[in-house]
Amino acid sequence: MKKQQEVKGAFLGLAIGDALGVPVEFVNRRSLKGNPVKDYREGGLWDQPAGTFSDDSSMAFCLAESLCRGYDPEDMGRLFVRWYEEGYWGAHNECFDIGITTRKALGRIEEGTPAVQAGGFGESENGNGSLMRILPLVFYLQGIDHPLERYQKVKEVSSITHAHFRSVFACFIYCEFALELLKEKGKEEAFQDAINTVNKFVKSQSLNSGEVGLFKRVLDGSLLMAREEEIESEGYVLHTLEAGIWCLFTSESYEEAVLKAVNLGGDTDTTGAVTGGLAGILYGYESIPEEWIKGLAKRQDIVGLALRLAENL
């Protein structure tokens, strides 16, 4: 029962944050200051009904469905392609938004490239397309004690679309933080324990110091004291990671966290999803406003998927 509630909170938390952000994607922060998101909206760039989630949640749910059958990156890749081609796990059975790096990777899979080799390796291919969908993997990682093994799994799953170290490392930090939150710790203790684990891991491995240095204000905790104007919220993976953590630490409820994330502007659906997944774990399923759950596309399917994953892990 506890596991079921945890997965439900994470999945609905992610999808609702995503859906709140979809109608204002690419709207700037200044505009949202004057007309902030407070509830679901319809329309926007993609002209979608209220409560519609985007590629962030669709790909996360494809990953979750694959994990119900066991850990198989090739199967994950096939489901991602099915989403792209058929709208599988789309809010309304269509793919209306996909990142360039993700589209290229899925094209490679279609052409026969192994899934774990399909992701882009270039420095310019560090959008947030693997971070946005990585959360379901956390529940699989709960059964793995060694950080190196967890890192390797995160690397494989990220690399289906985003294989550069920066994207992989951002996913690793996010997963480590989520794992600590699942231990029912407060956010301060969970974050500190996660960062201690990551810093010890960095010291034990021969990692690129220049790349690791980009994560300095996450790894030394100074991010938590940043002002809003110091938080970026476009599609770059490091900025999305920072924004998600910062929103969680500068709010006191699920609702406050996701609305803060979305109202940063820019890549609003992904910032909302990344924040919402963490907030759904921290505050729990019961903390999510009931009207948001009722208004979410495919909510019953999402709950069913969460229960299946909880039962199969």
Q: What is the pLDDT of residues 43-101, one digit of tens each?
A: 999 999 999 999 999 999 999 999 999 999 999 999 999 999 999 999 999 999 999 99
Helices 2-21 and 55-68, packing angle to 10 deg: 160
- Predicted confidence at residue 158, as pLDDT, reads 98
- For position 135, what pLDDT does the model report? 98
- How do residues 93-114 score in pLDDT, each as one tens digit? 999 999 999 999 999 999 999 9
Instruction: Name the band, by pLDDT with cuts 50, 70 and 90, for residue 223.
Output: very high
Domain 2-312 has CATH 3.30.70.270: no
CB 84 within 8 A of CB 70: no
Share of the chain above pLDDT 70, in %: 100
Residues 246-272, mean pLDDT to the nearest whole number: 98
Q: Which residue has the tokens 């390797």?
A: 152
pLDDT for position 201: 97
Q: Which sign does the torsion angle of CA 107, 110, 111, 114 carry?
A: positive
The percent of residues in the chain predicted with pLDDT above 90, rounded, is 99
pLDDT grade for 1, boundaries at 50, 70 and 90:
confident
Counting Cα atoms < 13 Å in the Cβ hemisphere of 135 gives 35
Average pLDDT value over all residues in the chain: 97
Distance (Å, whole) CA 200 – CA 196? 6
Which residues are paired to 236 by β-bridges? Answer: 127
- The set of residues, in sequence order, having a beta carbon less than 8 Å from that of 158 and lying 6+ positions away, is 119, 130, 131, 134, 167, 168, 171
206-217: pLDDT as tens digits: 899 999 999 999
Which three-class secondary structure string do you get for the chain? Answer: CHHHHHHHHHHHHHHHHHHHHHHHCCCCHHHHHHCCCCCCCCECCCCECCCCCCHHHHHHHHHHHHHHCCCCHHHHHHHHHHHHHHCCCCCCCCCCCCCHHHHHHHHHHHCCCCHHHCCECCCCCCECCCHHHCCCHHHHHCCCCCHHHHHHHHHHHHHCCECCHHHHHHHHHHHHHHHHHCCCCCHHHHHHHHHHHHHHHHHHCCCCHHHHHCCHHHHCCHHHHCCHHHCCCCCEHHHHHHHHHHHHHCCCCHHHHHHHHHCCCCCHHHHHHHHHHHHHHHHCHHHCCHHHHHCCCCHHHHHHHHHHHHHHC
